[in-house]
């Protein structure tokens, strides 16, 4: 079985970051043309664009604040002009912030997580889903997190934003399923990314001993899950929350 995304156009938000860059490159390796979104890391985004073009695929870098409706709409228009209306949208971007307990966490951090997780998905859906509806085909994906089910100390703002995202994605799956569009989430664990490889921090024994598979996963594992859910092989999967975390969380039935 081969994942074939040729003739498809994908857009990945936060595509200059640790997970986003691997997701964007993997979709290109499967044959998709890819719009690379970034907010501030233009250098990283340009590097990802070059990697995609080296694979023989078309690519464009698009700067936008994914919490601002007008900027998301501008990004939609720029993507359409450069590559065509995206068939695959991956909501991956999130605002980073210092984690602490709920009693000490600034309200600003709770707002930032709502805006960059929950509202992000809403604005992207409003901007990009209508074109999918016109074609009666599309893949709308979001990166969630194992933290949404762990609800561990110091995760309050992050977990609240991602739980809001989960609710939006489940409702959206029911609303646009009749239009032939699937809506799914991939929930990473604490994955090994390029920043770990550069810093030599791949091994995290305290975390790994809690994982049934006893090791951390790789950024590529997340990209593989995204590529599968974006493909025709996953045409009958929608509304899913797919943990990719070595069994660290196991959603109930």
**Sign of the dihedral through C-alpha 85, 89, 92, 93:** positive
Nearest one of 106, 21, 117, 12 to 67, comparing CA atoms: 117
3-state helix, strand, coil in the chain (%, to 5): 50, 15, 35
Distance CA 7, CA 54 (A): 17
List of residues 6+ apart from 251 with CB closer than 8 A: 149, 241, 243
Going by DSSP bridges, is the β-strand pair 88-91/138-143 parallel, antiparallel, or unpaired? parallel
Nearest one of 49, 116, 39 to 83, comparing CA atoms: 49
Nearest one of 122, 124, 163, 131 to 37, comparing CA atoms: 124
Catalytic residues: 158
* Burial state string for 112-132 with b = 16 or more CB within 10 A and e = fewer than 16: bbbbbbbbbbbbbbebbbebb
Per the CB < 8 A criterion, the answer to whether 145 and 158 are in contact is yes
Nearest one of 61, 67, 73, 74 to 11, comparing CA atoms: 61
Q: What's the number of CA atoms in the CB half-sphere (13 Å) around residue 84?
A: 12
């Amino acid at each position: 079985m081969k994942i074939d995304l040729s003739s498809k156009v994908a857009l990945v938000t936060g595509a200059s970051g640790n997970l986003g860059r691997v997701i964007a490159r993997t979709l290109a390796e499967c044959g998709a043309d890819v719009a690379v979104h970034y907010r501030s890391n233009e250098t990283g985004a340009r590097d990802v664009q070059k990697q995609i073009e080296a694979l023989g695929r078309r690519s464009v870098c698009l700067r936008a604040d994914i919490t601002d409706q007008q900027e998301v709409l501008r990004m939609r228009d720029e993507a359409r002009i450069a590559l065509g209306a995206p068939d695959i949208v991956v909501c991956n971007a999130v605002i980073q912030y210092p984690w602490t307990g709920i009693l000490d966490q600034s309200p600003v951090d709770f707002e930032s997580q709502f805006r960059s997780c929950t509202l992000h998905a809403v604005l992207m859906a409003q901007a990009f889903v209508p074109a999918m509806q016109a074609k009666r085909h599309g893949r709308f994906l979001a990166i969630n997190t194992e933290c949404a089910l762990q609800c561990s100390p110091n995760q309050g703002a992050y977990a609240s934003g991602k739980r809001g995202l989960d609710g939006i994605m489940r409702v959206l799956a029911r609303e646009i399923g009749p239009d032939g569009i699937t809506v799914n989430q991939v929930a990473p664990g604490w994955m090994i990314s390029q920043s770990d490889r550069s810093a030599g921090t791949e091994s995290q024994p305290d975390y790994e001993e809690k994982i049934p598979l006893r090791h951390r996963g790789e950024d590529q594992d997340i990209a593989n899950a995204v590529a599968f859910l974006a493909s025709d092989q996953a045409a009958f999967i929608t509304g899913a929350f797919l943990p990719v975390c070595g069994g660290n969380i196991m959603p109930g039935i």
